[in-house]
Amino acid sequence: MGNFFIILLLIVTSTLAEQYRLCTPESISNSDIASLTKGNSQISCVPVTDSADCAIKINENKADFGIFNAEELLLAYQFYPDSLLPIIQLKHEDKINEEFEFRTVAVVPDSINSNEGLAALKDGGLCHPGFSESQIWNDYILKFFEKKVHKNQCNRYLSVSENDAYNIRHFFGKACRPGNWVNDPSYDSELKKKYPELCALCNNQKECKYDNNLNHGHMGALDCLTSNRGRVAYVAYHYVQQYFKIDHNNPAPNATPTGYQFLCPNGALQPLTVSNPCAWIQQPWSAIVTRKDNANLMITNLKNWLQAPLQQTETWTIALGDILQRDGKIVYLHEQPTLKSYLVKGREVDLNERPCGHDIRWCTVNEPERIKCQWVAKEALLLGIQPRILCELKNSTFDCLLNISKSEADIMTIDSNYGYLARRIYNLTTVLYTETERQKNSVVVAIVRNDVLSVKNFQELKNKRVCFPDYGGIAWVSFINTLRINKIIEDTNDYPRAIAELLVGACTPGINDTDHSDVTNSYTIEILCASCPLEGSNDTCSAHISNQYYGDNGALKCLAGPGDIAIIESKNVEEFVRERVIYPGDFRVLCKNGSLAGYSGFDVDDDCALSVTIDSEIVGRKYDLSDFQNNDTTDALLKIEDWLGYRPYSRRAIRIYESFKGYHDLLFKDSTVGLESIDSNLKSIVAYKELFQFMDSEHSSVCSIVSNFILIFVSATITLTSYYS
């Protein structure tokens, strides 16, 4: 019997050893995965969020191979330069003989001679293809030529984008540089008014664009050159071939293009007829990647699976071949390159040059978030997004808010629950709003017990007891706003006292905590903590799990005890409802107009809820609106959103709004779908802004105590434990 189990174990081990794990992003459908794992398949599928997730899993031996394009390979190289290897190229079927996916070239007139070199371009005018979402060229590629030619100079008193415009005007004199220079429309318009020379070579100077927009502006750039408006066009090589009708495979007699030539990075010149022209950037092809210690075995296996005679193929090998070759036809490499040697033939891979602008210090509250921040920061650098992002690690949200207020960090994304505290205590403001998935908006409701109905309208709140999840949270702010709108309390510069004078008691966790409260009036604190339970440490009213009335679930526990009404964020109790810790039938919503909902439970429409808003925002210090640092930060974040958010028809090396290494809500909440400017008119954002309008009346009194509060806070022990500690 013992031998039987040993044999069985060997069989199972052998079977498991034959399974090779392929990274499968969401682009690979469930039906493809089913086909891939049919029969005697030697492939198992490892779901991944993006190529960054795949690289991490391959490096950690949680996956064996995956497909990466060149930009994804560049990011993987920054973290795993020695452990990952490209083993097979994937080339477009029409370009099997091309060494690179694309090349960027500079075309100039024949009138430039070899003695002039790059200096011949001074004041000659630049014909640029422009910036558009429809092309795959990112800012690093689009700006590579101009920065190399004019030896990019950083002016510390200009924004990054204005610094670019200043350098281009200073060197080239004029240009046509179509599209959005920055993602903020108003600032983009401001820059173009200030630097009209950079639209002077466009056919349509007013709108700063070419009449010929074919091929993402590349054809317009070549028109700009050949019509003698500019002295150099920076374009993709294959568009030069189309434009000048160059076909090396079928050269037409007497069709040699004349009048123009290639300008090389070293200043040399080449005729347009050369078959392998000098290029400024040469983009490597996509590749299949594995671990270095697994490379030889994976190459052998892939050849066996994909080159087997037709009669020996199985469903899973056909499916594997189809999946692997969607990016291009398989081309086996003659020699096995390292990741660096594969990339460096066409690209700079070690970006050591410090970009322009003041660093953006992004505050993170746990180690997984810091690591994700480092991946995003590196990818932003590879995309040509400036300024540079640095990732700071602190212990909690309150630590970060304090550090930003003290200019020791610059930005962070906060839950909308911290919006009031960020403004009132730390004197911060919105940098950008985050648009939330509609079904995941923050919904604040007032809850009463269904069996008692001790409060039937807001006028009955006098001398009642209210249960809050915490002090200063979105529930607290929504409650105050509702009472103001219903004329239950008057506008004042001390809303905590106004609430205390209305009620006979409350539980407001955190109102006496030094890390997120500025309330010092003992009467106010006494009333607003009167209904809180005694904690194990003999404390009371703390914003900590030791307080059983803390948080939204805690507020409902309070309602079951001394409370008459609870103010909660309904989505925060959904898990407790699913686990049947809370029964919605026990409660009813008191609508913001003062009437009771006609049915029990928490699910009410927007008109009944006290507030329906976004659930997060990016905050930073208050700047003058003309401050270039504010422009830099906003533009960098919007470009990150453009390239790493939910951009149509594009692959993202790392997805900023999704989970990372199994952790959720890092840098941004998973519910985020985009970024919005401070002028956004989205309904949920407008509602969020309106919640804080009443703060204007109390702001002047707040500013006088902020500095004293910070001194107190520095010496205090932070009691809030990080979620990922």
Cβ atoms of residues 419 and 474 within 8 Å: yes
Q: Name the DSSP class of 326.
A: S
- ∠ Cα 400 404 410 (to 5°): 105
Token pair belonging to 704: 């006088």
Say whether 313 sits in a helix, a strand or coil. Answer: coil
Cβ atoms of residues 274 and 262 within 8 Å: yes
- For the chain, how many residues are written? 725
Say whether 307 sits in a helix, a strand or coil. Answer: coil
Say whether 670 sits in a helix, a strand or coil. Answer: coil
* Closest-CA residue to 568 (of 581, 552, 584): 552
Give the residue carrying structure tokens 């690979």.
Answer: 28
- CA dist 581 and 562 (Å) reads 19
Give the residue carrying structure tokens 């477009």.
Answer: 92
- CA dist 622 and 568 (Å) reads 30
* Closest-CA residue to 171 (of 232, 236, 237): 232
- ∠ Cα 31 37 39 (to 5°): 115
Say whether 416 sits in a helix, a strand or coil. Answer: helix
* Closest-CA residue to 476 (of 574, 349, 610): 610
- C-alpha 465 chain-centroid distance: 42
Residue at 82: amino acid letter: D
308's enclosing H/E stretch is: none
Report whether 475 belongs to an annotated binding site: yes
- CA dist 637 and 389 (Å) reads 10
Token pair belonging to 190: 């401001």
- CA dist 275 and 324 (Å) reads 30
Q: How many CB atoms lie within 10 A of CB 712?
A: 12
- CA dist 491 and 694 (Å) reads 8
Backbone angles phi, psi at 613, to 5 degrees: -140, 175
Q: Name the DSSP class of 11.
A: H
* Closest-CA residue to 292 (of 64, 69, 25, 68): 64
Residue 534: exposure state from Cβ atoms within 10 A (0-12, 13-18, ≥19): exposed
430's enclosing H/E stretch is: strand 428-436
Task: Output the known binding site for hydrogencarbonate.
Answer: 475
- Report the binding-site residues: 415, 475
User: Which residue numbers belong to the known binding site for Fe(3+)?
Assistant: 415
